Copies of this chain bind each other. A is one copy, B any other.
Amino acid sequence: MAKAADDALFEPVRSDRTFEIVVQRIRAKLAAGELRPGDKLPPERELAKQLDVSRNVVREALRSLENAGMLKTRKGAHGGAFIEKGSAALISAALNDLVILNAISLDDLLDARLMMLGMVLDHIAQSGRAPDLGALEANVAATAAAIAKGDSAQRVPLARAFYHEIAALTGNRALEFTIDAQTEMIQSYLRLRVTDMDGENLLRSRRDFLHHLRAGRFDAAKAELSAHLERVHQRLWSVPSVN
């Protein structure tokens, strides 16, 4: 019997597993806009009955969707599976897995982020429009306040927001998400390794950066950002892991 020529005469009758079909059905409803963030799916038992599959299959499908960040489940009386709105966590989880699998190095990730932040500034410079720096100003002010109060718990989310606002200067959400994902991923490593950074230095760098931006000196801003991140990254390797 001829074993599968280059173009098979017959394709498999049923390649997909049942739970994958269920996933596709739900994804389709999402793509079609029939299900929107915040909506609740029917209970597992009900869903199983409607789709005529076992509850087990439904659960495996929900697991896939939940893992992909499209769902969250809550127990109890008015619990269930709720549609989430997308977040950078989707991408940062993927990046994290790629680092775990040794497909990319942390070094490359750091460089890539630096390059992309620089790209954002280049893009702004090239567009000729003066960027709206309100969010960045507010962020630096909040950082100053947090440092003054010694509130180090606030520093990590503020740092994340800082880079987010830089990305947001482009108005391109795809870039925002990508850079957010990189920041999240890198911060999850920093949290493990660095105790606390010198607040004064951080603040000076942030203010210089902002100052350059306001004056339209994008190259100088880029250099400042670059220098700051270099210092941070340096720290990442010099401090031993706390693992």
Which A residues have a C-beta under 8 Å from some C-beta of B? 19, 27, 30-31, 37, 56, 59-60, 63-64, 67-70, 84-87, 90-91, 93-95, 97-98, 100-105, 108-109, 111-112, 115-116, 118-119, 122-123, 170, 172-175, 177-178, 182
- Please state if A68 and B70 are interface contacts (CB–CB under 8 Å): no
- Please state if B100 and A30 are interface contacts (CB–CB under 8 Å): yes
Residues of chain B lying within 8 A (CB to CB) of residue A174 = 95, 98, 104-105, 108-109, 111-112, 182
Q: Nearest chain B CB to A217's CB is how many angstroms away?
A: 18
Q: Nearest chain B CB to A207's CB is how many angstroms away?
A: 27
Instruction: Give A175 to B98 CA distance when docked, in angstroms.
Output: 12
Contacts A64-B67, A68-B94, A91-B98 supplied; 10 other A-B pairs, CB < 8 Å? A56-B59, A68-B93, A90-B94, A90-B97, A91-B94, A104-B174, A105-B173, A108-B175, A111-B172, A116-B116
Residues of chain B lying within 8 A (CB to CB) of residue A67 = 63-64, 67-68
- Please state if A69 and B97 are interface contacts (CB–CB under 8 Å): yes
- Please state if B108 and A173 are interface contacts (CB–CB under 8 Å): yes
Instruction: Give A170 to B85 CA distance when docked, in angstroms.
Output: 34
A-B contact pairs, 25 of them (CB 8 A): A19-B63, A27-B100, A60-B63, A63-B67, A64-B64, A67-B67, A69-B94, A85-B101, A86-B101, A86-B104, A91-B91, A91-B98, A98-B177, A103-B173, A104-B174, A104-B177, A108-B172, A108-B174, A109-B174, A112-B175, A115-B119, A115-B123, A116-B119, A119-B122, A178-B178
